[in-house]
Structure 1
């Protein structure tokens, strides 16, 4: 067994953040496509899958207490093993008579496990590396997280489509999820060998429950006493409203039959368009947004980023009315929408950082991420029902109407 000094961060940083991103992609996108293929309506699909955001909403409430139970290294290893078990549970129940109840239960287990794994992984990154190493590896960690999103949103869906040429829909998805189960069990075993033991055995119990609870209450109360708290919450809930409506419906529209107003993309084409082209656009826009804001600040870029997060939604209005068959045109539209969102989302992230400044800034930022998840969860609960009632074309027009909210909230919020 290697000592901590002999273990290089190169052996675990990339795989750790790959393991962090893949379950998120599986829960937020792959589940949408899976339930649509299994015959659920858009209303049912978006309602069930939007609830999967809940663990990320409430994660700030339980994350401070994890260290009282076990070390961050233990949480990483245990959650990866549990993720493997949860993926296996999804795979097993697909071919049963209770497939809907079973898969939803195991997806719920996936979401809570993934959210807990996020806490352990991010905490371990800070403990396992020096400040200099943290700065050096931040690009590596981001790159592999993004690679996991591309593989999750593109590769897994395309793999299911490839398998369906040789077998039934249910069996193809079972094999995909069994593959994920094996991957995460393997990652847990691998990380047990390579993650350094940087935490002392008693370190995670050095703080009492009463002290942590007192600190948590103090942090929670101070957050809601911050200046302009109501305006800040409104910003966090409404600035992404158009994207929150579009996010669950866009993939369903790309896959829906032409008779239902969709583009009827195959799973392989969908994986390319939404999972690769879309994610690359999202990441590219995010990088440009980060560079722009880091140079000139949020005050200068708030309005350009508000335009970027709203106007590119016209791409889906075009797709809904023109119904192009060209993969190039569809890919271009999806790329434009995702790139615009990625650029505009930088304003959202910067606002959370700005609002969290002061005492308890780390904990306040964690609470902001809860509102960030809530901003995606709430609109998603009824987005499918709206799309069914209005049709895709009118729904995309409604998304453009909802763009008024980001403009109104950007006008009201004060950036000092």
Structure 2
């Protein structure tokens, strides 16, 4: 039933969503071959002004969150003897899977509204701050080891709200950097770097936590926030971009 429902929704949107005038096939845009267009789009991405800084931004802006996200569930589930909060699986589902997701969604919505009003450039630093500072909530949780679900849920909600709000800047920057002749292809390349920015830190998160313990690991996450600050300072953005 669900599959049929989503198939119907997909077909509806396929025909109902308006298409921009520059949304053309390779043949319509004068491309020689699909392979040639792919290579050309790939090469032009790396030739764009500020490409290196943009790639560094895409890889490091979410560095604290990339480490943190991998260890949130293990931390909430681990026993107190191992430095965790010893929550049950069902409780974690409520705290992180429900309250956390709601906070993340609200943060993203408010982030979009803020960017629409002030533009990406003015929103960038507040969003970077919201991406990093709420990570302190997990430092607190690892040190205080509270049993009160209200406190735990509040900390998770604050962190997820901050991530949702801060991630808006990341998405807008990818759209901004992708502007140009091959914006669809360039945006796809940006999403590849977005995935890579989570995969690489995530691959080492477990090893680092085993070496440092949860408290030490979360302090390391705070240190990684310096990477977010550094790359935010490096990028240049059109002051009018993102405003409605």
The 5-angstrom pairing of residues 245-264 of structure 1 reads: 245-264=67-86
Give distance in 2, aligned partners of 1:265 and 1:17: 40
1:366 aligns to what?
188
Q: Please tell me whether residue 238 in structure 1 is matched to residue 71 in structure 2.
A: no
Give distance in 2, aligned partners of 1:305 and 1:16: 36
Distance 1:13 1:239, change over 3 A: farther
The 5-angstrom pairing of residues 2-41 of structure 1 reads: 15=6
The 5-angstrom pairing of residues 186-335 of structure 1 reads: 211-335=33-157
Give distance in 1, aligned partners of 2:100 and 2:8: 20
- Structure 1 residues without counterparts, runs of 5 or longer: 1-10, 19-120, 135-202
Shift of 1:128: 2.6
1:376 aligns to what?
198
Give distance in 2, aligned partners of 1:339 and 1:242: 15
Counterpart of 1:402 in 2: which secondary structure?
helix
- For normalisation by structure 2, the TM-score amounts to 0.88
Post-superposition CA distance 1:39-82 (Å, at most 9, x none): xxxxxxxxxxxxxxxxxxxxxxxxxxxxxxxxxxxxxxxxxxxx
The 5-angstrom pairing of residues 42-121 of structure 1 reads: none
Counterpart of 1:295 in 2: which secondary structure?
helix
Higher relative contact order (CA 8 A, sep 6+): 2
2:15 aligns to what?
128
Distance 1:391 1:294, change over 3 A: same
1:388 aligns to what?
210
Q: Please tell me whether residue 338 in structure 1 is matched to residue 225 in structure 2.
A: no
Give distance in 2, aligned partners of 1:17 and 1:389: 50
More helix by share: 1
Give distance in 1, aligned partners of 2:34 and 2:166: 36
Kindly report structure 1 stretches of 4+ aligned residues shifted beyond 4 Å. 11-14
In the alignment of these two chains, the number of paired residues is 231
1:352 to 148, 164, 174: 174
Distance 1:301 1:14, change over 3 A: farther
How well do the aligned residues superpose, as a CA RMSD in angstroms?
A: 2.7
Shift of 1:12: 8.5
Shift of 1:234: 0.3
Counterpart of 2:100 in 1: which secondary structure?
helix
The 5-angstrom pairing of residues 109-188 of structure 1 reads: 127-131=14-18
Give distance in 1, aligned partners of 2:7 and 2:117: 30
Give distance in 1, aligned partners of 2:194 and 2:96: 22
Give distance in 2, aligned partners of 1:339 and 1:288: 9
- Structure 2 residues without counterparts, runs of 5 or longer: 239-244
Give distance in 1, aligned partners of 2:130 and 2:5: 31
Shift of 1:126: 5.7
Counterpart of 2:33 in 1: which secondary structure?
helix
Counterpart of 2:48 in 1: which secondary structure?
coil
